[in-house]
Structure 1
Amino acid sequence: MRKVSQSVEKKPEGYQVSLPFGLDARRETNYRNAVVQLESLQTKFRKDRKYFEQYQGVIDKYIEAGFISQVKDHIVEGYYMPHFGVRKDSRTTPLRIVFNASAKSKG
């Protein structure tokens, strides 16, 4: 708590707080888990073209809005946020993408 409270800064756009751990604390990667998640999504997309098109549309909007960015190079280090789609009967939001930042590795 001390480290967090000492790092609080008031900025014109709001408050800024440093993460409570050093940069070396997050050296692990979830790259392999992200690949497994992607393969699962690809299987679903092959079975349901409409699902793929809806999902791609939402992803495109997120990229355009600057909410997410595409990994352009093959980078294994870092954290990849797993995501999946949730469908519902709705004209305004037939599909929403849920990002699971707390996903754990199996095993």
Structure 2
Amino acid sequence: MNEVNQNMTGMGNITDQVIATDLLNSAKSGVKMHSVAATEAATPELRAVLIEHLNNAINFHEQVTNYMVSKGYYHPYNMNEQINVDITNAQTALNLPMQ
């Protein structure tokens, strides 16, 4: 599936890459928030639960990253290739019709 057509929410055309990128950004945010929460925990029991959630968030981030790398959406080990992908994405965004 390369594109999702206009849907009931009026989002227009979005690609798998856009969805995956948004998911990766959300996963990164989740890791950060769980890290902060674990350091702010009032009890050892709560800290242990939050650390378990943090580990799950890290694992999820890794899964999303691996998916994006396998699809060629993300190149964390090749800066030049990632810059090319980012430039292409920016050009695509600039060429989207205004709604």
Q: TM-score, normalised by structure 2?
A: 0.28
| Higher RCO (C-alpha under 8 Å, 6+ residues apart) | 1
**Which structure has the highest helix share of the two?**
2
Per the normalisation by structure 1, the TM-score is 0.26
